[in-house]
Structure 1
């Protein structure tokens, strides 16, 4: 029982609705009956006050008790309201009364017989005229409600009961509809999750008509499915690219070795050098993959030390000046105006900057410039900006340049373009540093990459 979420929601909605309905109906009935009883009591007191006023006025006018019009009022109240009176003078003698009418009417069958357990109440009121006690008036009436009053109260209670039943039916109906509507969104999420488990990565949850909370869950699920689909696409692309990267040097090596075996080629030093170069391409590819796996390891530990940014630029100058001169590209180092110290893993930092500089060198033609500078305008960060005047990239390629084996220009020679892993390593190591990367590029204008490193260690 109550194993499903819908049954639990329906049960608690109905339970809360029933409790509310019962409390409201109870207080409505109790409050109305109490107010109605007080209203009847006030109305009876007004009638009694009227009778007392008429008796005292008649006595003051005539000097004795008169039957007209008092007895007419007493008779009217006796016949219509079951309110009976006995009038006594100051000596206790009964002057007039209507209390004996009850038995008389019963004997004639003009009224309903009195119930055996009916209780009566009497109240005495002192009569005065000219500041003298002239007698007393005894009012006699049944405790509780009389016929018309009781019928009226019963009718009201009947309406209350009908309203309660109608409210209960509406509560059940709307609770079922609401629980169904709420669970419908969760059922969509559950169905989509099962589809995702069956490797249907194209499944998405429609957001229309969902409650806000369920919509947020659906958005998160859609983002997860999108991420998984993208990861699957990158995995397949990585597998294909890796196979392609391996196929070219392996095919070359295979043809050369078979040529040696068949005696078609003589193993001259030049040919052996060519075979060795193909072999070294494979070695470099494997080394790059090992570096990438190490950089993407979630348990990677950075050996952070305090490093001065100017010293890093000096080390890069010493390392890369020969390479830039060899290609004929001008390397410019802009020293910072002040000493900037920040925590970092120095070896990883040099690896990051070296990969970016190598990339800039590869795609910057002879005679052009590459510039390295330090930025500090971003609060809490130190930035290394590397600008080149190379071939640049298309706007659509920028979001993908940190993916494995990605090349914006598919026509680039893989011998000059590298394996396409260097920037993937840069991204992984920057994430390990809690840093950020910002890239701007224009085709035939050059590329600008800013590497932001936090100045405080977490």
Structure 2
């Protein structure tokens, strides 16, 4: 190790409070010496000139004695005053440097705990001014967000493992039956195997899509589009599935509404998810209504309203969470092949367009309305 690098390491090893205190002491000492030198050089001459101007009648020896006495008194009193000021300044500086050191130590300890995964670590308010308060608030906000991310990550992993268990179990069961000769590789067996793999494939695609949407990394090409055109395209794509399920799908005229600036493909994906969700929760004989309205001059709203099962007040705030289902038993029902994150993807896509997606329901059996809110194009 070179002498220069050793010196740098030695200097960097000193605590911040010590370096601040030493620097302040050097500044105070230099100021005191400068003031003492200036006073000792300038003050006697000024005093002598005043004696001459005053015409004080003393002999040369008396005048010299008076000037010497003045100089001694001046320098002694000035030295005492400077020493007292330096000591007081050092005491105040030491107090504040200790407070700064305590605050920086708390920040470093909290950051170390956060780095170790202890996201409950917090930095107390140092009370040293807005800069240190902002630093503490930033560290605390970082810890809180990292804690939320970690909790979400654990929940997603647990939910993902749960969602994968069923299709994997189906595939494994049929493969074992084939190996044991219990089943033949017939059309129903192939359909079951293909269904399980397709469900896993859709799950993987949806997880990737919602992650990209929430991180703002989706490939989007917004253009000026008519809301009614979006609704008609979504209804046409879903009509066959609705006819098969015997659920009526209608588009309600909501009056004249302005255009919106969206990616038609992405917004079609949102409407397809909402229509698929409405179909799975609406029994035969029910209906689903599409409508575009203009609640005010700044926004356009697209509604997907069904007459199906409805949502309880307890479940309503959670419907956009990944893998959330108000009734877990619905996952096992035939034809319910959703990945569990269609609504999460839809909300992320709408928010990427500067809008919002909300759900409303009067309760079980009262149907559900999903409302897409998008900025209206002016002019």
Normalising by the residue count of structure 2, what TM-score does the alignment of the two structures yield? 0.75
- Indicate the residue corresponding to 1:67 in structure 2: none
Query: Cα offset for 1:283?
Result: 0.5
After TM superposition, the structure 1 = structure 2 runs for residues 150-299 of structure 1, keeping only pairs within 5 Å, are 151=69, 154-155=72-73, 157-198=75-116, 200-211=117-128, 212-265=130-183, 272-273=187-188, 276-277=191-192, 279-294=194-209, 296-297=211-212, 299=217
Cα distance in 2, alignment partners of residues 181 and 379 from structure 1: 54
Q: Identify the residue that residue 7 of structure 2 maps to in structure 1.
A: none
SS of aligned partner of 1:451: strand
- Choose from 364, 368, 373 the match for 1:452: 373
Does the 8 A contact of 1:437 with 1:449 survive in 2? Answer: yes
The CA distance in 2 between the partners of 1:379 and 1:185, in whole Å, is: 51
Q: Are 2:371 and 1:360 aligned?
A: no
**For the Cα contact (< 8 Å) 1:201–1:226, is it kept in 2?**
no
CA contact (8 A) 1:246 1:282 kept: no
Q: Are the aligned partners of 1:310 and 1:336 in contact in 2 as well (CA < 8 Å)?
A: no
- The answer on whether the counterparts of 2:206 and 2:339 sit within 8 Å (CA) in structure 1 is no
Q: Distance in 2 between matches of 1:372 and 1:15?
A: 77
Structure 1 residues 241 and 343, CA gap change in structure 2 (3 angstroms): same
Deviation, structure 1 residue 285: 3.3
Does residue 421 of structure 1 match 2:334? no
Measured after TM superposition, the shift of residue 358 of structure 1 is: 1.7
Cα distance in 2, alignment partners of residues 278 and 251 from structure 1: 10
Looking at structure 2, the residues matched to 159 and 446 of structure 1 have their Cα atoms a distance apart, in angstroms, of 91
Residues 284-330 of structure 1 deviation map (CA, whole Å, 9 limit, x = unaligned): 33124224414533543213332111111222232334444544545
Equivalent-residue separation in structure 2 for 1:28 and 1:330 (angstroms): 100
2:251, 2:291 within 8 Å by CA — same for their partners in 1? Answer: yes
Give the conservation status (yes or no) of the 8 Å contact 1:439–1:449.
yes
Q: Write the distance in 2 (CA, Å) between the matches of 1:21 and 1:205.
A: 43
Residues 209-244 of structure 1: per-residue CA shift (max 9 Å, x gap): 353323322322233233333333333333332332
Instruction: Establish whether residue 437 from structure 1 lines up as the match of residue 357 from structure 2.
Output: yes
> Which of the residues 315, 336, 356 maps onto 2:233?
315
CA distance 1:256–1:427, change in 2 (3 Å): same
Aligned counterparts of 1:426 and 1:19: Cα–Cα separation in 2: 68
Q: Which whole-Å CA distance do the structure 2 matches of 1:375 and 1:2 have between them?
A: 68
Q: Structure 1 35/423 Cα, relative in aligned 2: closer, same or farther at 3 Å?
A: farther
Work out the CA distance in 1 between the residues paired with 2:141 and 2:71.
63
> CA–CA distance in 2 between the matches of 1:20 and 1:410?
77
The 2-side partners of 1:331 and 1:341 are apart by 23
Q: d(CA) in 1 for partners of 2:347 and 2:50?
A: 84
Cα distance 1:152–1:301, how it changes in 2: closer, same or farther (>3 A)?
A: same
Query: 1:32, 1:379 → 2: CA distance?
Result: 79
Partner SS state of residue 251, structure 1: helix
DSSP 3-state at the match of 1:161: helix
Change in Cα spacing, 1:10 to 1:261, as seen in structure 2 (3 Å) is same
Aligned-partner Cα distance in 1 for 2:357–2:222: 19
Provide the TM-score with structure 1 as the length reference: 0.64
> Structure 1's 218 and 388: CA in aligned 2 closer, same or farther, altered over 3 A?
farther
Q: In angstroms, what is the RMSD of aligned CA positions?
A: 3.9
Q: Where in structure 2 are the equivalents of 1:353-392 lying within 5 Å? A: 353-365=271-283, 369-377=287-295, 380-389=298-307, 390-392=309-311
More strand by share: 1
2:357 is the counterpart of 1:346: no
Larger CA deviation: 161-170 vs 331-340? 331-340
Q: Which of the pair is proportionally richer in helix?
A: 2
Shift of 1:8: 4.5
Deviation of 1:249 after TM superposition, in Å, equals: 2.5
* Equivalent residue pairs, number: 359
Q: Which runs of 5+ in 1 are unaligned?
A: 46-81, 85-101, 103-113, 119-141
User: Which sections of structure 2, spanning at least 5 residues, go unmatched?
Assistant: 1-9
- Kindly indicate whether structure 1 or structure 2 has the higher relative contact order, using CA contacts under 8 Å at least 6 residues apart: 2
